[in-house]
C-alpha cells in the first residue's frame, strides 16, 4: 500500500510520540506537553495512520512500544534533533550559540573543591545567554539511561574503576572524589559503641560498600538510594556509611560525624559523559568546551 509523505502535522505528532515514549505513558506526558491524554492519543493515532503501523500499545496494561514504534522512535529522534539544530546552526553562523542543553548530575557534587561546574554555568550564561539550560539532579543509576533516551545531553557522574565504561559513550574526566567510612558516636548516656558493631548502609552497585563488607567484616544494613539517604541513616547513629570526604566535612557542621578509625580511602573519578551515537548540539558542544576550560583540561583535539 502506498504511504503518503510525512507533513508538518506528522512531524508535530512524532514529537508528541517521542515525549510520550520517553515518559513511558500518556499520563506522565500530559504535564510535559500541556495536553490531555485524549489529545495525545489522537495525535499519535493520526501519525500511525500516516505511517501505516502501530507505534505503541496503550491501555489498562500500561504503555509499551511496538517493534515498529521502537524503530520509528530512533529515526524520528534523529530527524527531530536535526530539525532542532537548524536555527541554532543559522545563529551560530552569526556568532550566536543558542538552543537547549540538558545536563544531569549526581547529587552533592557542589561541595567538592575540584568541581568547577558552577564556574562552567557562569561562563555559559555570560558567553551564550541564548542557550536554554536545564539542570537536573538524578539518582546515579538513572543518569546513563536518561542520556541514552535523549532526555539529557551531558551527564556529570562518578565512574567506579570496577565497572567497565559503556560502549558508545564518550567520557571526559573532570576531577576526582575521595570517599571514607563514617559514623556518629553514641548519644550521651549510651554505651560507647565501636563502629565495627554497626551495620553498614548498603548501596546497590557500590563496590566500596561490597569491599567493606567483604574485607572489614561489616554486616549489611538498610539500603539507601542517593548520598543524602546514606547520610540520613548514618546520622541516626545506628549505622556506618561510605560518604565523600567533602560532603562529610560539610555535614559535620550540623551532624557529629566521625571518620571510622583506620578507614580505607576510596577514589572515584567524575566524568562528563555524552552519547557518541548522537551528534552534539552546538549548545552542548559549547558546554563541553567550557567544562574543559574551567577544569583546566586541554581544548578538544589538543590532547589527541
Query: Whole-model pTM?
Result: 0.72
Alpha-carbon distances of 23 from 78, 107, 238, 296, rounded to whole Å:
18, 22, 38, 37
Task: Report, in angstroms and rounded to the nearest whole number, the Rg of the chain calculated over CA atoms.
Answer: 24
- Give pLDDT tens digits for 6-58: 777 888 888 888 888 877 888 878 877 778 888 888 888 888 888 888 988 87
CATH topology of domain 98-304: D-Maltodextrin-Binding Protein; domain 2 (3.40.190)
Distance CA 263, CA 212 (A): 9
Asked if 102 contacts 280 with a C-beta cutoff of 8 angstroms, the reply is no
Distance CA 239, CA 196 (A): 10
pLDDT of residue 96: 64
CA dihedral over 214, 216, 217, 222, signed as positive or negative: negative
Residue 237 burial by Cβ neighbours in a 10 Å radius (0-12, 13-18, 19+):
middle
Tell me the three cell numbers of residue 236: 541516626
- Give pLDDT tens digits for 135-167: 999 888 788 888 887 889 999 998 887 666 677
SS3 per residue for 225-284: CCHHHHHHHHHCCCCEEEEEHHHHHHHCCCCCEEECCCCCCEEEEEEEEEECCCCCCHHH
pLDDT of residue 1: 41
Alpha-carbon distances of 188 from 28, 228, 234, 244, 258, rounded to whole Å:
48, 25, 17, 27, 15
Tell me the three cell numbers of residue 255: 551532624
| Range(s) of the chain covered by CATH 1.10.10.10 | 8-84
Q: Pick the more confident residue, 2 or 253.
A: 253
Distance CA 226, CA 97 (A): 34
- Location of C-alpha cell 512524532: 14
CATH topology of domain 8-84: Arc Repressor Mutant, subunit A (1.10.10)
In which band, very low, low, confident or very high, does the pLDDT at 107 lie, cut at 50, 70 and 90?
A: confident
Distance CA 275, CA 169 (A): 5
| Range(s) of the chain covered by CATH 3.40.190.290 | 98-304
**Is the model's pLDDT at 67 over the cut of 50?**
yes
DSSP state of 209: H
pLDDT of residue 304: 45
In which band, very low, low, confident or very high, does the pLDDT at 290 lie, cut at 50, 70 and 90?
A: very high
Name the residue among 218, 216, 239, 217 with its Cα closest to residue 229: 239
Q: What percent of the chain is predicted at pLDDT more than 70?
A: 88
SS3 call for 132: strand
**Is the model's pLDDT at 87 over the cut of 70?**
no
- Location of C-alpha cell 560525624: 257
Amino acid at each position: 500500500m502506498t504511504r503518503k509523505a510525512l507533513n508538518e502535522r506528522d512531524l508535530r505528532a512524532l514529537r508528541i510520540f517521542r515525549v510520550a515514549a520517553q515518559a513511558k505513558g500518556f499520563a506522565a506526558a500530559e504535564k510535559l506537553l500541556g495536553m490531555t491524554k485524549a489529545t495525545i492519543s489522537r495525535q499519535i493515532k493520526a501519525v500511525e495512520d500516516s505511517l501505516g503501523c502501530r507505534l505503541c500499545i496503550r491501555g489498562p496494561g500500561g504503555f509499551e512500544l511496538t517493534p515498529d514504534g521502537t524503530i520509528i522512535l530512533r529515526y524520528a529522534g534523529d530527524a527531530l534533533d536535526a530539525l532542532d539544530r537548524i536555527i541554532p546552526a543559522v545563529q551560530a553562523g552569526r556568532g550566536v550559540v543558542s538552543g537547549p542543553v540538558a545536563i544531569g548530575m549526581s547529587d552533592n557534587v557542589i561541595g567538592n573543591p575540584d568541581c568547577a561546574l558552577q564556574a562552567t554555568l557562569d561562563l555559559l550564561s555570560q558567553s551564550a545567554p541564548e542557550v536554554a539550560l536545564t539542570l537536573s539532579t538524578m539518582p546515579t543509576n538513572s543518569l546513563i539511561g536518561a542520556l541514552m533516551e535523549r532526555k539529557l545531553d551531558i551527564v556529570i557522574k562518578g565512574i567506579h574503576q570496577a565497572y567497565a565504561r559503556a560502549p558508545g559513550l564518550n567520557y571526559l574526566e573532570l576531577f576526582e572524589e575521595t570517599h571514607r567510612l563514617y559514623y556518629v558516636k553514641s548519644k550521651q548516656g549510651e554505651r560507647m559503641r565501636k563502629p565495627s558493631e554497626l551495620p553498614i548502609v548498603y548501596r546497590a552497585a557500590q563496590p566500596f560498600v561490597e569491599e567493606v563488607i567483604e574485607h572489614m567484616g561489616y554486616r549489611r544494613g538498610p539500603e539507601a538510594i542517593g548520598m543524602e539517604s546514606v547520610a540520613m541513616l548514618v546520622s541516626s547513629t545506628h549505622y556506618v556509611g561510605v560518604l565523600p570526604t567533602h560532603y562529610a566535612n560539610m555535614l559535620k557542621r550540623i551532624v557529629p560525624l566521625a571518620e571510622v578509625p583506620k578507614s580505607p580511602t576510596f577514589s572515584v573519578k567524575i566524568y562528563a559523559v555524552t552519547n557518541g551515537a548522537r551528534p552534539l548540539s552546538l549548545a552542548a558542544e559549547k558546554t563541553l568546551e567550557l567544562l574543559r576550560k574551567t577544569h583546566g583540561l586541554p581544548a578538544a583535539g589538543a590532547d589527541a
